Amino acid sequence: MLTFDITVFTMLGRRGTGLTGSGPDGGIPLMGKEEPLNRKELVDAIQKHTLVARTDVDKVLGSLIQHTQVAVKKGDRVSLVGFGTFERQDRKARTARNPRSGAPVKVKATKVPRFRAGQGFKDVVAGKATAPKLSPVKSTAKATTARAASTAKATVSRATTSKASTAKASTARASTAKASTSKAASRNSAPKSTAKAASSRGKAKSGKKK
């Protein structure tokens, strides 16, 4: 997990009682707030602001955290312009002193994550720059609704056209079948008519001979 020095970076919540009192760890107080903004509240806020599905927001946030952890562990810097830079700080082994007894204590070499706020972030916090507006994007919602309605209409139109084409094709096939049947019947009746005519001519000839 990435950890931050409270004097450098703190995600602040909406509740608080002012500047008095100490922070949650007994250190520097949170500036006007009591409780940090947790992940659930942050995801909800982003979802309302972007109108992206909450599950997608949570996945993207989780992926951002994981990729930052992996990059910083390798010693790479993750720089977000206007926000800040995440990096690894290597601390050498040293000898410290116990504050109570004054006895020397050996501290092993270690690696810790560090966050340095960008200038844009610093200016917003200091009031030198205007803070971003976090109102919901209404136009995006309307555009999404319009696109959904257009898609639905197009689907219905395609379905209607397809049904009409199918009906026309069925009618055409039925007409062709009837025409073929009629022609076949005509061909079958032609020999019969010819035979009857021949029989009549034969009888007529026989009557004349008598």
Alpha helices (H) in the chain, listed in sequence order: 39-50, 54-74, 119-126, 138-209
Select the more confidently predicted residue: 41 or 202.
Answer: 41
Label residue 84 exposed, middle or buried (CB < 10 Å: 0-12, 13-18, 19+).
buried
- pLDDT at 89 > cutoff 70: yes
**Which range, of 37-46, 130-139, 152-161, averages the lowest pLDDT?**
152-161
- pLDDT at 146 > cutoff 90: no
Select the more confidently predicted residue: 195 or 121.
Answer: 121
For 43-68, how does the pLDDT look when each residue is reduced to its tens digit (9 = 90+)?
999 999 999 999 999 999 999 999 99
- pLDDT at 109 > cutoff 50: yes
pTM comes to 0.49
Return the number of other C-beta atoms located less than 10 Å from residue 86's C-beta.
20
Tell how strand 94-97 and strand 104-107 pair up: antiparallel
- pLDDT at 120 > cutoff 90: yes
- pLDDT at 124 > cutoff 90: yes
What percent of the chain has pLDDT above 70? Answer: 49
For 155-209, how does the pLDDT look when each residue is reduced to its tens digit (9 = 90+)?
656 766 666 666 666 666 766 656 565 565 556 555 555 555 556 565 555 555 4
Q: What's the CA gap between 119 and 50, in Å, rounded?
A: 25
Backbone phi, then psi, for 151, in 5-degree steps?
-60, -40
Q: What confidence tier does 35 reach under pLDDT thresholds 50, 70, 90?
A: confident
Contact 74, 113 (CB under 8 A): no
CA-nearest of 93, 88, 123, 118 to 108 is 93
Task: Please state whether 149 falls in left (phi above 0), alpha (psi between -120 and 50) or beta.
Answer: alpha
Label residue 61 exposed, middle or buried (CB < 10 Å: 0-12, 13-18, 19+).
middle
Mean pLDDT of the chain: 73
Query: Mean pLDDT over residues 68-72, rounded?
Result: 97
Q: What's the CA gap between 129 and 133, in Å, rounded?
A: 12
- pLDDT at 11 > cutoff 50: no
Select the more confidently predicted residue: 116 or 32.
Answer: 116
Tokens for 141, please give them.
């919602």
Convert 94-108 to b/e letters by CB count within 10 Å (16 or more is b): eeeeeeeeeeeeeee
